[in-house]
């Protein structure tokens, strides 16, 4: 009972937040990161919510062997049937059903009386239990529920077969003291509570999700629900990397309570996730932000040089950040690149390695020294599921004409299978002209262009341009990344990638 299970809901609560939608291949890639990191439970989606969600939960259940796979369900037979059908092929399937228990949610959202909510919670838990032994029950908006009523609902769920009981702070309203007291109260009061695992699921609206989750653990919870980088509805969920590293860094407070997480996989999982949703970590994001381990001020640098512990409570290596920057160049062979990548925490398949090595060689012709940052960008681009959509369009060639006194022109030629498509367009600068030429070829559905960002992967004039683009159509977002020493090429590649995803989702590829 001293192990806290890590339940990751990046693919459900994280993915359902605006701007974070992912396609199947992207979800599987994140699931693989989670498996490598040794999370205990992956909530792969909400099976009833769409055929696409059902398919991704099912695929993850079939492919990922090292974790329990859960699907969310409301407390209805239809939702539970769908959840079970999606997860049943997993090595260890879990159905996660929920119903709201706060006066507000019961009256205005569910339009149900408390006694009906209580009855439904018990009956639907029993219904799910007929399918599966591993059942999680969540009392939505638990922290704004009346504790005595909440205890009764929890008791009903346990009596009817729940093996994990989750106490969500759905709107990020509670405080650490309250959360700890609530968990202690429920474990003490609800019959059967000592035989199940209590879980906490905190949202970050007031910036307290991490503290509240940790307080829940001190109150007796032995499962934390969280997401990579704290993604999630509104201000997000508890960040996995924060709770895991907090427990590890403060054994004096958490005594012998540990998690089974391989923390050296945290950075890779974080970068992969940001890459897939087309975002960058805020510079000062704890654990995974670029400045998390940087010491700029003279006083800090002086202290760290004398003894790292003066200003560093955890090491970058502990979360998989590689600090020994070895310079690779055109004389470095495949084995040197491979062994350096392994040191950086990237164990690639032979196929991924070949693709990355090919791109590394191309880069060496343009750039004398390839830094770790360049190499990492190459890996993220080439191992990312987002990099290739089957049957998608690819760039064949482009030519631009631009100056500061004429309208820019771009000719773009795309390839799809054996066919080639060429268009020319004018635009407000070479990138705009190129995107217009691409639109003429692809004829994409109506969409908005939400994000265009360009970053350099490393210092120096010969750095790579890393372009990120986000388009949205309906409620879905589509991201694309492009990497090149030529920023127009990087922009075109990113735009084609995002457009391919949008076309594939609309059945137009
Ligand atoms: O925030 C919440 O209450 C949830 C539940 C469905 C677990 O996400
Ligand atoms: Zn939630």
**CB neighbour burial string for 34-72, b if at least 16 within 10 angstroms, e if fewer:** bbbbebbbbbbbbbbbeeebbebbbbbbeebeebbbbbb
pLDDT at residue number 297: 66
Q: What's the gap between Cα 202 and its chain centre?
A: 16
At residue 77, the 3 state secondary structure works out as: helix
Which residue's alpha carbon is nearest to atom 5 within ligand 1?
A: 140
Residues 6+ apart with CB under 8 A from 112: 106, 120
CA of 487 to the centre of ligand 2 (A): 39
Closest-lying ligand 1 atom to the alpha carbon of residue 9: 8
Q: What is the pLDDT of residues 262-280, one digit of tens each?
A: 999 999 999 999 989 988 8
Of the candidates 227, 148, 237, 160, the residue with the CA atom closest to the CA atom of residue 186: 148
Predicted confidence at residue 382, as pLDDT, reads: 81
227 C-alpha to ligand 2 centroid (Å): 10
pLDDT band of 374, cuts 50, 70, 90:
confident
CA of 300 to the centre of ligand 1 (A): 41
* C-alpha–C-alpha distance, residues 84 and 105, integer Å: 26
Place of tokens 């060429």: 422
Closest ligand 1 atom, residue 72 Cα: 6
Ligand 1 centroid–CA 140 distance in Å is 6
Span from the CA of 109 to the centroid of ligand 1 (angstroms): 14
The Cα 408–Cα 434 span in angstroms is: 9
**Res 296 pLDDT > 80:** no
Q: For residue 96, what is the enclosing H or E element?
A: strand 93-100
Can you give the pLDDT at residue 388?
A: 62
- In whole angstroms, give the CA distance from residue 289 to residue 141: 31
Ligand nearest to the CA of 138: 1
Which residues approach ligand 1 with their CB closer than 6 A?
Answer: 13, 98, 138, 140, 166, 168, 170, 201, 203
What is the three-class DSSP state of 380? helix
Q: Which of 11, 13, 96, 230 to mutate to test the pocket of ligand 1 (most atoms within 8 A of CB)?
A: 13
Q: How confident is the model at residue 325 (pLDDT cuts 50, 70, 90)?
A: low
How many helical (H) and strand (E) elements, i.e. helices and strands, does the chain have?
Answer: 17, 14
Q: Which ligand is nearest to the CA of 233?
A: 2
pLDDT of residue 460: 78
pLDDT at 387: 54
- The ligand 1 atom at the shortest distance from the C-alpha of residue 142 is 3
pLDDT at position 468, please? 92
106-116: buried (b, 16+ CB within 10 Å) or exposed (e) per residue? beeebebebee
Predicted local distance difference test score (pLDDT) of residue 390: 78
What SS3 state is found at 239?
Answer: strand
CB 450 within 8 A of CB 458: no
Ligand 1: nearest atom to the Cα of 138: 7
CA–CA dist 263, 244 (Å, integer): 8
**Residues around the ion ligand 2 (C-beta < 5 A):** 13
| DSSP-based three-state secondary structure for 99 | strand
Please give the distance, rounded to the nearest whole angstrom, from the Cα atom of residue 313 to the centre of ligand 2.
Answer: 30
At residue 476, does pLDDT exceed 90?
A: no
The whole-angstrom separation of Cα 429 and Cα 401 is 9
* 136 burial level (CB within 10 Å; 0-12, 13-18, 19+): buried
**Contact indicator for 419, 455 with CB cutoff of 8 Å:** no
Burial of 1 (C-beta count, 10 Å sphere; 0-12/13-18/19+): exposed
Average pLDDT over residues 420-439: 97
How does the average pLDDT of the chain come out, rounded? 93
Looking at the DSSP bridge assignments, the partners of residue 198 are: 165
How is residue 199 written in tokens?
């879980």
pLDDT tens readout for residues 71-113: 999 999 999 999 999 999 999 999 999 999 999 999 999 999 9
Distance CA 505, CA 107 (A): 37
Residue nearest to atom 1 of ligand 1 (CA): 170
**What mean pLDDT comes out for the span 17-36?**
92
Residue range 296-301: mean pLDDT, rounded: 68
Q: Which residues, 6+ apart, have CB-to-CB distance to 422 below 8 Å?
A: 411, 412, 413, 414, 441
Does residue 403 register a pLDDT over 70? yes
Q: Are 129 and 160 in contact (CB under 8 A)?
A: yes
- Of 385, 384, 371, 377, nearest to 340 by C-alpha is 371
How many angstroms separate the CA atoms of 383 and 361, rounded?
17
Indicate the top mutation candidate among 72, 173, 199, 230 to test ligand 1's pocket, ranked by most ligand atoms within 8 A of CB.
72
């Amino acid at each position: 009972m001293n192990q806290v299970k890590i339940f990751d809901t990046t693919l459900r609560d994280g993915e359902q937040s605006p701007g974070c939608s992912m396609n199947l291949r992207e979800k599987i890639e994140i699931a693989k990161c989670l498996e490598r990191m040794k999370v205990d439970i992956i909530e792969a989606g909400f099976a009833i919510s769409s055929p696409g969600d059902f398919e991704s939960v099912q695929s993850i259940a079939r492919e990922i062997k090292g974790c329990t796979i859960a699907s969310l369900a409301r407390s209805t037979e239809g939702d539970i049937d769908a959840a079970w059908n999606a997860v049943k092929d997993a090595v260890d399937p879990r159905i996660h059903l929920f119903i709201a228990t706060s006066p507000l949610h019961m009256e205005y959202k569910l339009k149900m009386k408390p006694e009906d909510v209580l009855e439904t919670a018990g009956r639907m838990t029993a219904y799910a239990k007929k399918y599966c032994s591993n059942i999680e029950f969540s009392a939505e908006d638990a922290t704004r529920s009346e504790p005595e009523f909440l205890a009764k609902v929890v008791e009903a769920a346990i009596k009817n077969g729940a093996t994990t009981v989750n106490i969500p702070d759905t709107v990020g309203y509670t405080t650490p003291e309250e959360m700890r007291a609530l968990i202690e109260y429920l474990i003490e009061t609800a019959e059967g509570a000592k035989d199940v695992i209590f879980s906490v699921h905190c949202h970050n609206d007031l910036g307290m999700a991490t503290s509240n989750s940790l307080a829940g653990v001190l109150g007796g919870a032995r499962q934390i629900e969280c997401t990579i980088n704290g993604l999630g509805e509104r201000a997000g969920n508890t960040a996995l990397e924060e709770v895991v590293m907090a427990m590890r860094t403060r054994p004096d407070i958490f005594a012998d309570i540990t998690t089974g997480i391989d923390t050296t996989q945290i950075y890779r999982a974080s970068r992969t996730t940001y890459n897939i949703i087309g975002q960058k970590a805020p510079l000062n994001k704890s654990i995974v932000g670029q400045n998390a381990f940087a010491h700029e001020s003279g006083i800090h640098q002086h202290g760290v040089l004398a003894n790292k512990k003066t200003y560093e409570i955890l090491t970058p290596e502990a979360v998989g950040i590689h600090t020994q920057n070895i310079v690779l160049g055109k004389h470095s062979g495949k084995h040197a690149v491979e062994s350096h990548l392994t040191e950086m925490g990237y164990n690639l398949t032979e196929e991924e390695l070949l693709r990355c090595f090919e791109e590394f060689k191309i880069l060496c012709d343009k750039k004398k020294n390839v830094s770790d940052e360049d190499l990492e960008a190459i890996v993220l681009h080439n191992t990312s599921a987002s990099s290739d959509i089957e049957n998608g369009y690819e760039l064949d060639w482009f030519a631009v004409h631009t100056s500061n006194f004429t309208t820019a022109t771009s000719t773009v030629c795309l390839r799809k299978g054996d066919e080639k498509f060429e268009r020319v367009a004018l635009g407000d600068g070479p990138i705009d002209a190129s995107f217009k030429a691409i639109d003429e070829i692809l004829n994409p559905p109506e969409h908005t262009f939400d994000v265009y960002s360009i970053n350099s992967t490393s210092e120096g004039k010969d750095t790579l341009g890393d372009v990120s683009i986000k388009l949205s159509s309906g409620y879905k977002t589509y991201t694309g990344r492009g990497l090149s020493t030529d920023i127009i090429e990087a922009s075109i590649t990113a735009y084609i990638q995002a457009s391919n995803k949008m076309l594939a989702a609309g059945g137009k590829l």
